Amino acid sequence: MVKINENYLKLKGNYLFAEIARRVEKFKNSKPEANIIKLGIGDVTRPLADATVGAMHKAVDEMAKAESFRGYGPEQGYDFLRDKIVEFEYKSKGLNISADEIFISDGSKCDTGNIQEIFGTDNRVAVTDPVYPVYIDTNVMAGRTGVNKDGRYENIIYLSCNAENNFVPELPSERADMIYFCYPNNPTGMTLSREQLKKWVDYAIEEKSVILYDAAYEAYIREDGIPHSIYEIEGARKVAIEFRSFSKNAAFTGTRCAYTVIPKDVMAYTIEGEAHPLNNLWNRRHSTKFNGVAYVIQRAAEAVFSDQGQKQINEIIDYYMTNAKIIRQGLENIGIKVFGGVNAPYIWLKTPNGLDSWEFFDKLLGEAHLVGTPGVGFGPSGQGYFRLTAFGNRENTEEAVERFRTKLNLE
Ligand SMILES: *Cc1c(COP(=O)(O)O)cnc(C)c1O
């Protein structure tokens, strides 16, 4: 009798987006004429920049000729891309990262999900609450948790982030080995200052823990004093793995390219206390289970770092961030408490009148024909919050804010 991995049975169904779709469908049936605007999209909507498309076309033509055809490439990525990343994202900013510490992949979802494989199953995992579900679910699958009780898995350390602590996670009272962070944060749109992040880096050094730092929204940072990379923090080279993606900065959500940075100084230990560099383990894992990102796609990613590429992607990010500002200001003007949206494309609002997340969802849909994402769907500490995104088009964003003002009854 073949056995299943029973850890999969502990997983809670991903009801959030299915439940949203169900409620929207039901509403549409009752009011077919309503023009629904979705501010719940977690995907970019502006197309690829010309610079990246041009590079892709050129690479396709190379693949069509015997002289320039490429078969399997290096699993870790082509040097042309790894070198560009090092130069552009790290060296030029005074950060000491080398090309053999960069692993090109087909996405940060895969990387943040797969990274736990190189860690022992008896490590304690800490995540912020609310959270991007990938970090938790992949550890459930691997058997690092108990069952789910009242929205939380046993044996995971949940770091509550809410208005009371200004969304800054406090150091845990129990030992945390693997600490997952995402800054700028999805879903809250909030960030950590250098000082706040330093506290965690110091903790990880002291406890011999590792911080798994998802910086997918780094390009959206607008304020000074907010770290773009965890390696800006002294000592982070010893304890941090950083995940970067071309998805949100360069519209690669459907094109697929990302990278993981593992400095050779980051160690994990055997039971006897013998230190092993995680760079070696991940290299082994990556070259055994992954066969590289398409050449054409890596050329497109390389073009992100050209002058033209940078100019074009920054225009797109500015477009989204102007949407974010329109939403933020519009909601503040009608007295709704909002967070995020300054260094991230997400706006996290406190639901008015003490409504819970789903009650507010129904009210917003019913009165203003707007769809967002209930905060509680990202974890228990998201209860009473609601996520809006800046990825829509300008016209819809403005119309949505207008409906908040004129249609939503906040008496
Ligand atoms: C969108 C997103 C990513 C990027 O994932 P890809 O697989 O690279 O598209 C990573 N982390 C978070 C939190 C995200 O929201």
| Burial group, residue 305, by CB count within 10 angstroms (0-12, 13-18, 19+) | middle
Locate the domains of the chain by residue range: 6-47+309-406, 52-305
Atom of ligand 1 nearest to the CA of 110: 7
How far, in Å, from the CA of 378 to the mean position of ligand 1?
Answer: 15
Q: Which amino acid is at 49?
A: A
Atom of ligand 1 nearest to the CA of 182: 13
| pLDDT per residue as tens digits for the range 344-377 | 999 999 999 999 999 999 999 999 999 999 999 9
Answer whether 342's CB lies under 8 Å from 223's CB: yes
pLDDT at position 223 is 96
134 phi/psi in degrees, rounded to 5: -55, -40
Is the pLDDT confidence value at 77 over 80? yes
Question: Which of 373, 380, 371, 364 lies closest to 346, judged by CA?
Answer: 373
Ligand 1: which residue has its CA nearest to atom 4? 108
| pLDDT per residue as tens digits for the range 220-250 | 999 999 999 999 999 999 999 999 999 999 9
How far, in Å, from the CA of 55 to the mean position of ligand 1?
Answer: 23
Ligand 1: which residue has its CA nearest to atom 14? 216
- At which residue do the structure tokens 């009473």 appear? 384
How far, in Å, from the CA of 42 to the mean position of ligand 1?
Answer: 9
What is the share, in percent, of the chain residues with pLDDT greater than 70?
100
Worst-scoring range by mean pLDDT, 39-43, 164-168, 178-182, 287-291?
39-43
Cis peptide before 32 (omega within 30 of 0): no
* Mutation test residue for ligand 1: of 44, 247, 391, the one with most atoms within 8 Å of CB: 247
Residues in contact with 400: Cβ distance below 8 Å, sequence separation at least 6, in sequence order = 37, 39, 327, 368, 370, 392
* Mutation test residue for ligand 1: of 248, 252, 256, 320, the one with most atoms within 8 Å of CB: 248
Per-residue confidence band for 14, with pLDDT thresholds at 50, 70 and 90: confident
Distance CA 188, CA 53 (A): 32
Distance CA 304, CA 94 (A): 20
pLDDT at position 312 is 98
Q: Residues near ligand 1 with C-beta < 6 Å?
A: 107-109, 132, 182, 186, 214, 216, 245, 247-248, 253, 258
* Mutation test residue for ligand 1: of 110, 115, 135, 186, the one with most atoms within 8 Å of CB: 186
Answer whether 374's CB lies under 8 Å from 349's CB: no
| pLDDT per residue as tens digits for the range 129-162 | 999 999 999 999 999 999 999 889 999 999 999 9
What stretches of 247-356 show up as alpha helix (H) in DSSP? 247-250, 278-289, 295-303, 307-333
Ligand 1: which residue has its CA nearest to atom 11? 216
How far, in Å, from the CA of 341 to the mean position of ligand 1?
Answer: 17
What crossing angle do the helices spanning 357-368 and 394-406 adopt, rounded to 10°? 100
Query: Mean pLDDT across the stretch 76-81?
Result: 98
This prediction has a pTM of 0.97
What is the share, in percent, of the chain residues with pLDDT greater than 90?
97
How far, in Å, from the CA of 389 to the mean position of ligand 1?
Answer: 14
pLDDT at position 242 is 99
Tell the CATH superfamily of the 6-47+309-406 domain: Aspartate Aminotransferase, domain 1 (3.90.1150.10)
* Mutation test residue for ligand 1: of 16, 45, 109, the one with most atoms within 8 Å of CB: 109
Query: Mean pLDDT across the stretch 313-329?
Result: 98
Mean residue pLDDT across the chain: 97
Answer whether 229's CB lies under 8 Å from 89's CB: yes
pLDDT at position 339 is 98
* Mutation test residue for ligand 1: of 105, 108, 249, the one with most atoms within 8 Å of CB: 108
Answer whether 145's CB lies under 8 Å from 153's CB: yes
- At which residue do the structure tokens 């009011």 appear? 31
Query: Mean pLDDT across the stretch 19-48?
Result: 95
Per-residue confidence band for 411, with pLDDT thresholds at 50, 70 and 90: confident
Task: Look at domain 52-305 and name its CATH class.
Answer: alpha beta
How far, in Å, from the CA of 245 to the mean position of ligand 1?
Answer: 7
| pLDDT per residue as tens digits for the range 285-305 | 999 999 999 999 999 999 999
pLDDT at position 397 is 97
pLDDT at position 41 is 79
Q: Which amino acid is at 270?
A: T
CA 136 to chain centre: 13
Atom of ligand 1 nearest to the CA of 247: 9
Atom of ligand 1 nearest to the CA of 214: 11
